[in-house]
Amino acid sequence: MSESKTEVLNNSGSEGILERFFQLKAHGSSVKNEMIGGITTFATMAYIIFVNPNIMAASGMDKGAVFVATCIGAAIGCLLMGLFANWPVGLAPGMGLNAFFSFTVVSEMGYSWEVALGAVFLSGLLFVGMSFYKVREWIIDSIPPSLRFAMTAGVGLFLGLIGLKTAGIVVDNPATLVSLGDFTKPEALLAAIGFLIIAVLSERKVFGAVLIGILSVTLIGMMLGLVTYHGVFSAPPSIAPTFLAMDISGAFQISMVSVILAFLFVNMFDTAGTLMGVAERANLINHDTGRIEGLSKALKADSIASVAGACVGCPPVTSYVESAAGVSAGARTGLSALVVGALFVAAIFLSPLAGMIPAYATSGALIYVAFVMMSSMQHVNWKSFTDSAPAAITALMMPLTFSIANGIALGFITYTVLKVTTGHQRDVSTSMYALTALFIAKLIYIG
């Protein structure tokens, strides 16, 4: 058969449809490359399937329902990113935001998880509105880079503290507030081993390092009699306990403003940073204009996914930086995102495996992710005290006050006060003044 006839047959088949829809050749890719890239992305971010239910269950949510919600929320996000934006990015419930949800909004502030989900829903709606108008660019551009980097690092420190606390590596002490835990206890030792396994494998560029670390510690726990085997596959648990369970009216409180803004800001800046980083690696930047092709659509897909995630019972669904691994493996289009989404759907049937994963197995992963996120502090302008001090306060006060919202509030207030009182008021935007006033009012009247 001639080459031209073969091409016609291919173009009339499934590959031809995929080529036309995702423009594979124009992006220098192929169906094979997208499949490999999608599988790679999924393997690097699949740990969220096991980590998120453990964290969200601390808020009182049904662990089985959260497991299914995690998979469905991630699949919806990937579907939107692939079909609407045609970007090679996987999405899933955000790390750090899930911890903020359970340990700050619910445990510390005393709200029900339904109200917390309502706050996630409202922050998602705000993100959608900002993505369709110029408000998003105005806010992102008006908030200093040092504070943006500090937010990422602070969330990392917050995650790290939760991981250390959950594993028993760091424990409370009446005299010194905190102290080192007992490493003769298997939970603390196995969490530390899990972190080391993940760190070593990641540095050696081993495929799916975080997932391997979690499963390895679970297997060791099983061998020690600490974990009971319940099988691997089964029909998925019911999602009914979390589906459309958000209390939107309960989230309409003055005291919830800082919570909604915390969900919004962390999600927005994390998403923007991730998408810009992936765009550079995937050659999605127009070198003539310097603009990122399809960024607006990608942000819209991400923001809509956050709303959809709240509906099924997830913290904000966001773009994952692990998508860069898939891009390195050849992913260039939204077809890889569809592959990731399909794998999340398939993972719904792994609920017995997810139920076996102990908290100390995911603690090592939390600690590792924390260190990765903390690296963003290297971009802070340390030569300027009025930039570095607010950044440090933002990052440090998140774990020390056990609240992402408090860290953001104190950092923003410090930045504005230092800039104005040292004669650098030109560095303070109108939105920063407004946000500072809002955060001061929150601390005075709400606490």
Q: In this predicted model, what pLDDT tens digit does every residue of 88-97 receive, in sequence order?
A: 999 999 888 8
| Average pLDDT of every residue of the chain | 87
Please compute the mean of the pLDDT values over residues 422-429 and round it to a whole number. 91
CA distance 397 to 394: 6
Q: What is the pLDDT of residue 369?
A: 86
Q: Of 295, 289, 299, nearest to 319 (Cα)?
A: 299
Q: What is the pLDDT of residue 406?
A: 85
Q: Which band of pLDDT confidence, cut at 50, 70 and 90, is reported for residue 136?
A: low
Q: Which band of pLDDT confidence, cut at 50, 70 and 90, is reported for residue 133?
A: confident
- Between the alpha carbon of residue 33 and those of residues 56, 111, 197, 336, the distances in Å are 35, 46, 29, 8
Q: Which band of pLDDT confidence, cut at 50, 70 and 90, is reported for residue 5?
A: very low
Contact 201, 213 (CB under 8 A): yes
Those residues with Cβ within 8 angstroms of residue 75's Cβ, 6 or more apart along the chain or in another chain: 341, 342, 344, 345
Residue whose tokens read 């774990």: 399
Q: What is the pLDDT of residue 261?
A: 87
Axis crossing angle, helix 186-203 with helix 359-374, rounded to the nearest 10: 40
Please compute the mean of the pLDDT values over residues 159-188 and round it to a whole number. 90
Residue 12 has pLDDT above 60, yes or no: no
Q: What is the pLDDT of residue 6?
A: 45
For 34-67, what is each residue's pLDDT tens digit? 998 899 889 888 899 999 999 999 999 999 999 9
Maximum mean pLDDT: which of 45-59, 221-235, 348-362: 45-59
Q: What is the pLDDT of residue 273?
A: 72
Q: How many CA atoms lie within 13 A of 36 on its CB side?
A: 10
CA distance 10 to 13: 5
Q: What is the pLDDT of residue 321?
A: 81
How crowded is residue 280: how many other Cβ atoms within 10 Å of its Cβ?
Answer: 13
Axis crossing angle, helix 135-142 with helix 113-132, rounded to the nearest 10: 100
Q: Which band of pLDDT confidence, cut at 50, 70 and 90, is reported for residue 199?
A: very high
Dihedral sign (CA 355, 356, 359, 364): negative
Of 300 and 15, more confident: 300
Phi, psi at 91, each rounded to 5°:
-125, 150
Maximum mean pLDDT: which of 95-99, 250-254, 267-271, 385-389: 385-389
Q: What percent of the chain has pLDDT over 70?
A: 93
Maximum mean pLDDT: which of 94-98, 202-206, 416-420: 416-420
Residue whose tokens read 């943006």: 148
CA distance 358 to 378: 33
Q: What is the pLDDT of residue 344?
A: 96
Residue 284 has pLDDT above 80, yes or no: no
Residue 7 has pLDDT above 80, yes or no: no
Contact 32, 279 (CB under 8 A): no
Q: Which band of pLDDT confidence, cut at 50, 70 and 90, is reported for residue 282?
A: confident
Lowest mean pLDDT, pick from 187-201, 279-293, 305-319:
279-293
Q: Which helix (H) or strand (E) holds 177?
A: strand 177-180
For residue 180, the SS3 value is strand
Axis crossing angle, helix 209-223 with helix 186-203, rounded to the nearest 10: 150
Please compute the mean of the pLDDT values over residues 288-301 and round it to a whole number. 77
Q: What is the pLDDT of residue 4?
A: 46
Query: How many residues in the chain?
Result: 447
DSSP 172: E
Q: Which band of pLDDT confidence, cut at 50, 70 and 90, is reported for residue 2?
A: very low
Those residues with Cβ within 8 angstroms of residue 372's Cβ, 6 or more apart along the chain or in another chain: 156
* Total H helices, total E strands in the chain: 20, 4
DSSP 253: S
Residue 445 has pLDDT above 80, yes or no: no
Q: What is the pLDDT of residue 137?
A: 66
Q: Of 259, 1, 7, nearest to 119 (Cα)?
A: 259
Q: What is the pLDDT of residue 341?
A: 96
Beta bridge partners of 91: 319
Q: What is the pLDDT of residue 387?
A: 94
Please compute the mean of the pLDDT values over residues 108-114 and round it to a whole number. 93
Quote the pTM value. Answer: 0.81
Axis crossing angle, helix 257-281 with helix 404-421, rounded to the nearest 10: 90
